[in-house]
């Protein structure tokens, strides 16, 4: 997804319908407030229902957190950056992720909005439970999935921080650098946000010699028209 200009102010208008547009925005505290009770409920229900030892609960939970980092990389690389050619698919990709590349500092779209987030997480939990049942490990899903969700919350918070703040600790600079290079240097590298592990494993890590290009000129603060470059033409996202 290549744009003629990257705007460090303003945000894209994804839908002309005000109600639909409202539901495309969120804030980290809303998402945390939505998922923390779900995490607590699943952990409590799993412990009460299955009586798994604290050791295996911890193993399942932290395995879920680790699996999130892999899921994050795969989704970002192959779904969010899917090279769509069909006009409808191009618009969908723009709504999902393209608008973030055109307006990377839009703080209201750094987390997935609540409604689609709940729908997707419900589908993922159901899939995990089916797979767990097939393997005879369904009880572990009640601990694996909360770890997976906590991994998502940490990822989303990291993503928000990278775009909104300077790195608070020296050891975090590599994460900030990796993601900024992804936005402003080459979007075919640097897909990891919460960790650079999978970029290193799959060969999409930026080299030490790579430097950020000059910061894009700030465009005027505007609501945008929700447009994306495709075949040298701009297309409005309805």
CA–CA distance, 204 with 74 (Å, rounded to integer): 12
Question: Where along the chain do its domains lie?
Answer: 18-236
Residues linked to residue 228 through DSSP beta bridges, in sequence order: 235
Predicted model pTM: 0.85
CA distances from 20 to 48, 93, 101, 192 (A): 40, 17, 21, 29
Number of residues written out for the chain: 238
Mean of per-residue pLDDT scores for the chain: 86
First CA to last CA distance, the chain: 18
Quick one: CA torsion of 67, 68, 69, 70, rounded to 10 degrees? 60
Question: CA-CA distance, 62 to 144, in Å (whole number)?
Answer: 7
- pLDDT at residue 4, rounded to an integer: 67
Reported confidence tier of residue 34, pLDDT bands at 50, 70, 90: very high
Question: What does the pLDDT read at residue 57?
Answer: 93
Task: Assign residue 232 a region (left: φ > 0; alpha: ψ between -120 and 50; beta: otherwise).
Answer: left
Residue 53 is encoded by which pair of tokens? Answer: 């030892």
CA distance 230 to 162: 28
């Amino acid at each position: 997804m290549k744009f003629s200009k990257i705007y460090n102010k303003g945000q894209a208008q994804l839908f002309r319908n005000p109600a639909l547009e409202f539901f495309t925005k969120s804030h980290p505290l809303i998402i945390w407030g939505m998922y923390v009770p779900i995490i607590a409920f699943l952990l409590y229900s799993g412990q009460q229902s299955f009586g798994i030892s604290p050791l295996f609960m911890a193993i399942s939970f932290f395995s879920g957190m680790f699996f999130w980092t892999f899921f994050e990389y795969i989704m970002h690389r192959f779904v969010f950056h899917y090279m769509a050619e069909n006009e409808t698919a191009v618009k969908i990709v723009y709504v999902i992720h393209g608008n973030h590349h055109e307006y990377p500092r839009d703080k209201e779209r750094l987390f997935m909005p609540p409604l689609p987030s709940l729908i997707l997480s419900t589908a993922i939990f159901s899939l995990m439970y089916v797979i767990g049942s097939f393997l005879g490990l369904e009880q572990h899903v009640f601990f694996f999935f909360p770890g997976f969700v906590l991994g998502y919350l940490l990822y989303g918070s990291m993503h928000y921080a990278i775009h909104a703040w300077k790195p608070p600790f020296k050891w975090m600079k590599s994460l900030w650098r990796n993601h900024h290079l992804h936005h402003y240097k080459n979007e075919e590298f640097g897909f990891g946000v919460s960790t650079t592990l999978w970029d290193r494993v799959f060969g999409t890590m930026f080299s030490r010699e790579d430097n950020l290009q000059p910061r894009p000129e700030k465009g005027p603060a505007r609501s945008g028209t929700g447009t994306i470059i495709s075949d040298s033409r701009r297309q409005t996202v309805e």
